[in-house]
Copies of this chain bind each other. A is one copy, B any other.
Amino acid sequence: MQIIHSPKDMHSLSKLLRISDRSIGFVPTMGALHEGHISLIKRSKKENDITVVSIYVNPLQFGPDEDLEKYPRQKEKDIEMLSSLEVDTVFIPADGEMYGKNDTVSIYIGATGKKLCGTSRPGHFDGVATVVAKLFNIVMPDRAYFGQKDLQQTVIIKKMVKELNYGIEIMVSPVKRENDGLAMSSRNIYLTEAERKAAPVLYNTLKHGKKLILSESPGNPANIKNELEAMLNAEPFVNIDYVDILDPESLEGVNKIELPIAICLAAAVGKTRLIDNMIIDKES
């Protein structure tokens, strides 16, 4: 397994790989790898000749009051895990290599980046899109892999890829969950024991929403949303950021229940902000 730190070296390698006609699968991560990442990496290895994984905690997507400094970093453990998965190349750029101090160029996403998580995290998705555009230009993958846990992120990356004509396939894999249903996230380690016990209420709320939506008379989205909010509010550790019922492709709100449909939610569990979602379709 090759570990590359310089964007220039990574780009040169990708150019060589393209000349040799090998397909590149790319899994961008912020490290602190868990089963969710592993499922993306395994899928990339199946679908491509070469798999590149990046580890980079992107400062541009963190707000001034967010957890950039304390975001979990476990480089050695991550590298060991990637090595045992037989990843071909790990790209670990240093901050100084990714952004210059006078940098001002960024990707602007528009309204899709300003709703849901974008409301409480202004600039977050423009920051995500900018680093992903940079990584795409450096790695030049054929396919890039993202987890559905960050549904809004996957919608935004697909939108960017389509509108800026990146010839890259965006592959989205299902949410990986702990045994009690909590969506896997690098941020779960922030939870105290009591919060961790309370946290599955997010998944249970989504499951309850699914049941309502698939029932014979689901009613309207606003009523379901109210019922789900009440369920979350009943849990003392939970502080809702949003619960929404949406079109899963556009993330636009819907007036009536028509499949496929997405339930998206974000909430603080104690001091830790967690997100989760479920896409409900005919076969689901």
Contacts and interface: CB of A to CB of B under 8 A. Distances in A.
A74 interface: no
Contacts of A120: none
Interface string A161-179: 0111111000000000000
A130 B108 CA distance: 10
Given A134-B165, A166-B137, A167-B137, A104 B111 contact: yes
Nearest to A168: B137
A41 interface: no
A159 interface: yes
A33 interface: no
A110 B167 CA distance: 26
A137 B164 contact: yes
What is the total number of copies of this protein in its complex?
Answer: 2
B7 A105 contact: no
A207 B15 CA distance: 44
Given A104-B163, A105-B108, 17 more contacts: A7-B165, A11-B167, A15-B167, A19-B21, A100-B163, A104-B111, A105-B107, A105-B129, A105-B163, A105-B164, A106-B107, A107-B107, A108-B126, A130-B164, A134-B163, A137-B166, A138-B167
A133 interface: yes
Contacts of A107: 105-108
Contacts of A100: 162-163
A105 B159 contact: yes
9 contacts: A15-B167, A104-B159, A106-B108, A108-B108, A134-B164, A134-B165, A137-B166, A138-B165, A138-B167
Contact of A11 (B110, B138, B140, B165): B165
A25 to B, nearest CB: 16
Contact of A160 (B105, B135, B138, B160): B105
Nearest to A20: B19
A99 B166 CA distance: 13
